[in-house]
Amino acid sequence: DQQVKQNSPSLSVQEGRISILNCDYTNSMFDYFLWYKKYPAEGPTFLISISSIKDKNEDGRFTVFLNKSAKHLSLHIVPSQPGDSAVYFCAASEGGTSYGKLTFGQGTILTVHP
């Protein structure tokens, strides 16, 4: 049972344009959502997070939007840069003492072309 889904395996974007990565979830108990970036042969690196009490969180070029009614979140990267090319994972947790117990999506490979 895939509780967190990233339905786009890959995304290709031109440098300077917006990258939009999407994520859907099914577990209503999730109350904290995160995006991680991962390069091959390295561990995931935290990018940005959002609590379920918010619908938007912004950090520099990265913005995460949360639509609780649709159980959907998205990561916007503006402007996209070639160095952003990596695998992006959406993750969710139920909070409380379970913050570190993350449920990950399958990942989306982002390629930003110069």
Partner 1 sequence: NAGVMQNPRHLVRRRGQEARLRCSPMKGHSHVYWYRQLPEEGLKFMVYLQKENIIDESGMPKERFSAEFPKEGPSILRIQQVVRGDSAAYFCASSPQGARGNTIYFGEGSWLTVV
Count, residues in the chain: 114
Is residue 80 within 8 Å of 73, Cβ to Cβ?
Answer: no
26/70 Cα distance (integer angstroms): 9
**Site string (64-93) toward partner 1, x via CB under 8 A:** -------------------------x-x-x
Of 45, 55, 58, 78, the one binding partner 1 by CB under 8 A: 45
With tokens 């947790």, the residue in question is 93
Q: Which residues sit at the interface with partner 1, rule CB under 8 A? A: 4, 6, 32, 34, 36, 41-46, 48-49, 89, 91, 93, 97-107
